[in-house]
Structure 1
Amino acid sequence: MSENAELLSLAQRLLLGGVALACADPRQHYPLLPGETLPQATPARRAEFSAGRHAARQALQHLGLPGRAIPAHADRSPLWPLGISGTITHSRSACLAAVRHGAGIGLDLEEAEGLERDLWPSILSESEQLWAYDQPDPGLAAKLIFCAKEAAYKAQYSHSGQLFGFESLKITVTGEAFTASFNENIAPFRKGDAIKGRWGLASGHILTAAAL
């Protein structure tokens, strides 16, 4: 099974029903539609951007919608069709997009490599660091915390529209599931509200998926 096929299979297992998925190669340039622009970007970043838009359009078609242009908001987040929630993620070698009707979803894809120790304090709380140290592979456990926060952040962003730091979410991992709890009020979410997610490993990657 190819890398893309394995990652798509994992994503389908992690996400709830009613979600359409597609993949692309972030090292390849895909045609962009009018309205899809990324000014002042390196060739590599342009390739990643085009792959994300290509995968997103394919996912919309799998959902039964036209493969229309997906421009960006002023904050650079994708502007999805009315009533659609979506998410795009990529690593160095793979790109995934997921869309569905209704509430927010988030995916984060990262290489299954340990998170550098000097980054831990800026991403993980003390309790999250203690949990990671207690795992068989602490670096990979720390990377999982990072991925879970990224997926949860993406899932909630269409509702809050607010930027906030890693310290605003607390991750609790239980088996293949995780919970991202808000450490503060971020309207419309309140302190203690939680976003549920799941995670898995495939093709040398960690994939996290969160949904409202």
Structure 2
Amino acid sequence: MAPTAAAPTPPWARPPEGLALARAQARNEDLTLLQSLLPAQVLAAQAWIDDRTDWPGQCEAERIRMARATPARRAEHAAGRWCARQALHALADRLDPPAPDGSPVAPPGPSAGSADTPHRSRPPSAVRDDEGAAWARQWRSVTDLPAAADRQPLWPAGCRGSIAHDAGLALAVVADARGCAALGVDVERRDRLLDPDRLSALILTPSERLAHDALAEPAARALRLLQTWCAKEAVFKAWHPATGRWLEPRDIELCQWPQTSAGTFIARLPATASGQPLAGRLAWNARRCVALVHRAARTGA
């Protein structure tokens, strides 16, 4: 009997080759940028904007708000909100882990659970965190994340968060507000079309201008300018929601830069905004630059 020929592997099941493999490797490298910056208290979610058109969990209110936006803007917004929901769910699971069977934790009070709505009980040795458990239930049920008048997302009670996107990648970061005083993130593509003269006049302080102009290579100056914009965006996204104060780019002065492709920057803020510098972290590769600002909440005050 002649051997039966194996069925051909469908295209979607084949490992990527050539340009597809290079694209997959580049995407993986880009996704690791944010992960390299995250402190233990912060959780993140990321998504490629062009991978889908219908994002699971998108509510009707969000569709209505974005109905008049361009298709590209609607895609960025939907991807960013999807990332926010995923990050909130992960944070909820950290504060209040689901049972192996998926049943929710027993809420506080004598009436927790019934024959129709079973709840798992906490282990006797577990430290009760009823406030965290209540927040976790709210975060798991979030379907809409509207924006304030200044376009900053309105996060649910008990958490801090930030969303960013460029032309292809969306990301969101969240943290328990009890341990986080400020949180901001930004991502920028290195091939983004910029007017260097206009941008430098908009964002650079006099001392930043001196440091920028001292760089000999045009490519180094272009990278420094993009890093400055990315870092200042992350600083603004962290500081404005936490304080309610507005900051212009030149109100923020970067006085320390990372010396490698991932490291710390220090942002000095005006006296009216903060008495202390704000630290952040930058990471970049050949395609993207990501900045994250996280300030832990002071304890024992």
In the superposition, the TM-score normalised over structure 2's length comes to: 0.64
Question: Any unmatched runs of 5+ in structure 2?
Answer: 1-23, 94-138, 296-301
Bigger CA drift: 128-137 or 81-90? 128-137
Match in the other structure for 2:267: 180
Which amino acid is the alignment partner of residue 162 of structure 1? R
Q: Are the aligned partners of 2:36 and 2:283 in contact in 1 as well (CA < 8 Å)? A: no
Match in the other structure for 1:120: 200
Match in the other structure for 1:77: 152
SS class of match (1:147): helix
In structure 1, which of residues 72, 76, 87 is the aligned counterpart of residue 162 of structure 2? 87
Question: Any unmatched runs of 5+ in structure 1?
Answer: none
User: Shift of the alpha carbon at 1:51?
Assistant: 0.5
Larger strand proportion of the pair: 1
Bigger CA drift: 30-39 or 52-61? 30-39
Which amino acid is the alignment partner of residue 33 of structure 1? C
Which amino acid is the alignment partner of residue 272 of structure 2? N
> Percent sequence identity over matched residues?
33
Q: Are the aligned partners of 2:240 and 2:247 in contact in 1 as well (CA < 8 Å)? A: no
In the superposition, the TM-score normalised over structure 1's length comes to: 0.88
Q: Does 2:153 match 1:66?
A: no
The number of equivalent residue pairs is 208
Q: In 2, Cα distance between the equivalents of 1:199 and 1:134?
A: 21
TM-align CA RMSD: 2.0
Which amino acid is the alignment partner of residue 107 of structure 1? V
Match in the other structure for 2:289: 206
Match in the other structure for 2:39: 16
Q: Are the aligned partners of 2:182 and 2:242 in contact in 1 as well (CA < 8 Å)? A: yes
- Bigger CA radius of gyration: 2
In structure 1, which of residues 23, 26, 29 is the aligned counterpart of residue 49 of structure 2? 26
User: Shift of the alpha carbon at 1:6?
Assistant: 2.7
SS class of match (1:58): helix
In structure 2, which of residues 11, 30, 52 is the aligned counterpart of residue 7 of structure 1? 30
Which amino acid is the alignment partner of residue 123 of structure 1? I
Q: Are the aligned partners of 2:186 and 2:291 in contact in 1 as well (CA < 8 Å)? A: yes
Runs of 4+ in 1 over 6 A off after TM superposition: none
User: Shift of the alpha carbon at 1:39?
Assistant: 5.1
SS class of match (1:179): strand
User: Shift of the alpha carbon at 1:128?
Assistant: 0.6
Q: Does 2:220 match 1:133?
A: no
Q: Are the aligned partners of 1:178 and 1:197 in contact in 2 as well (CA < 8 Å)? A: yes
